[in-house]
Amino acid sequence: MTTIISTLERELPDTAVLETATFGMGCFWSPDAQFGSLSGVIRTRTGYAGGTSNSPTYRQMGDHTETIQVEFDPGQIHFEEIVREFWRSHYPNRDAYKERQYISLIFWQSEAQRLSLEKLKKEKEQQLNEPVETEIRPFDGFTEAEERHQKYYLKRYPKALDQLAELYPDASLLTRSTFAARLNGFVKGFGSRQQLLEEIGEWPIADKYRALLRQVLLELKW
């Protein structure tokens, strides 16, 4: 069973065709679960971005912001859908945040993303009937957070992690796994077991691996 995850990661859309969205919207644990639950999102990871200090960490973040980075298949979910979910899920103005660590922040990584952000910002301002103060800027780097901050909610279930040990003999493998992203969302209340079972049925992997992932999901004890 230890080959399932490596095979899954290899056969899902190649990273060359994926797009990336990077943003901050408060504490990064919940967004990691929320966006990791979305069909079409292949990988998520938490980290630090937007600041000038070198090698930020959770304890010494400097002027960086807690952010998540989402790799997604644009053939299944568009950047605009990611951004609408981002703005729908938090109040994007500065008086909602006490420090830079938690500000509303989103980066663009292409001209198409920049234009989409301009359009969607105007759309959100019309909905709110006030200016949107989200910091919008070109992408300038991302530092991955410590392992304990990756798939945080899933890691709160040691019994399930023990059952997943055959798939993830090293806990660091959870960070870039699509299956782990979905499980992290599921335990936080995003999506359902049935939805995930159905989605696995659509993943472009061999039938034997699909059957094994479904079996793992059905047998997990939380």
Contact in structure between 135 and 105 (CB atoms under 8 Å): yes
Task: For residue 12, report the phi and psi dihedrals to the nearest 5 degrees.
Answer: -70, 165
- Non-local (6+) Cβ contacts of 101 within 8 A are 61, 64, 65, 66
- Of 9, 12, 18, 27, the active-site residue reads 27
Which residues lie across from 96 on neighbouring strands?
none
Contact in structure between 134 and 105 (CB atoms under 8 Å): yes
User: Is 32 designated active site?
Assistant: no
Q: Provide the CA 40 distance to its chain's centre, in angstroms.
A: 11
Structure tokens at 58: 């959770």
Contact in structure between 31 and 89 (CB atoms under 8 Å): yes
Task: For residue 98, report the phi and psi dihedrals to the nearest 5 degrees.
Answer: -90, -20
Longest CA–CA span in the chain (Å) reads: 53
Contact in structure between 147 and 175 (CB atoms under 8 Å): yes
Outline where the chain has alpha helix (H): 3-11, 29-36, 79-88, 111-128, 158-163, 178-188, 193-200, 207-219
- Which residues form the catalytic set? 27
